[in-house]
Structure formats: structure tokens, C-alpha cells
Structure 1
Amino acid sequence: MPEKKPQLLEKEKEELEIKACFDFLDANGDGKLSVRSIVIGNKGIGFTPTDMEAIAIIRKLDTNG
């Protein structure tokens, strides 16, 4: 079996980290992030966004509406 290229391993690692962060914020497990889940989830890491900041985060990162 051929070895994976280092950049592929890094990409897979990054994808797993992103999924773990998403799952952490998706407290109810519905596969969606709400303004409330963004605000509450970020408080756990010491960042307290306003509702408007959370909306801006969602708009910036949401690729499928």
C-alpha cells in the first residue's frame, strides 16, 4: 500500500479538527449552527461574541445557506 503524502495527511488532520470544533458548537446535534450555539460555544474558549458578531461569523462561513 502506498504511503500518503504529507500534505494529504495535514489536510485530513485539519478536516478532523474542523469537524471536532463544529461538533462542539453543534450542541443539539442537528448539524446546524445557530447564533445561540456560536455565542454559547465561544464563551467556553473565552470569546464572547455579540449576536451580531455571531451572525457575521455564520454569514461568512455558511456556504450552503
Structure 2
Amino acid sequence: MFQRPDQAAYQHIQDKLIEAAKEKLSGTALSVSEIAFLPGFEHSQSFSRLFKLKTNFTPIEYRGTLN
């Protein structure tokens, strides 16, 4: 299935954002809210929803898998 170019770009941006969030979750003690606000999310719930959609884990669950 082909995506429109703008949709593909949007997906790419989301993927990069999630990769950066994974790095912050694994390498810092920042809270999920602090990590969510870095790329401009106004509400950490929106960030958590996107993270779960892309990884099948909430940010807290993901951080828990690292220990």
C-alpha cells in the first residue's frame, strides 16, 4: 500500500520522535512529562498515546523493560 508523500513524511517524523524519546527514557531520569514537553507536546497523555501506538508499550512500561 502506498502512502501519500506528506503522510510518509509525517510517519518518519513520528518515528524519529519516538527514537529520541526512547533514548531519553533509557539514558536520563527525566519524567515522562518532561520528555513529552521537549518536542512540544502540550499534554503528556498525547505523547504517551503515540508512544504506545508506535512501540506497544507506555513510556513507563518501556523504561521498566530496561532494568
Query: What TM-score results when the alignment is normalised by the length of structure 2?
Result: 0.43
Larger relative CO (CA 8 A, sep 6+): 1 or 2?
Answer: 2
Q: Which has the larger radius of gyration?
A: 1
Determine which structure has the larger helix proportion and give its number: 2
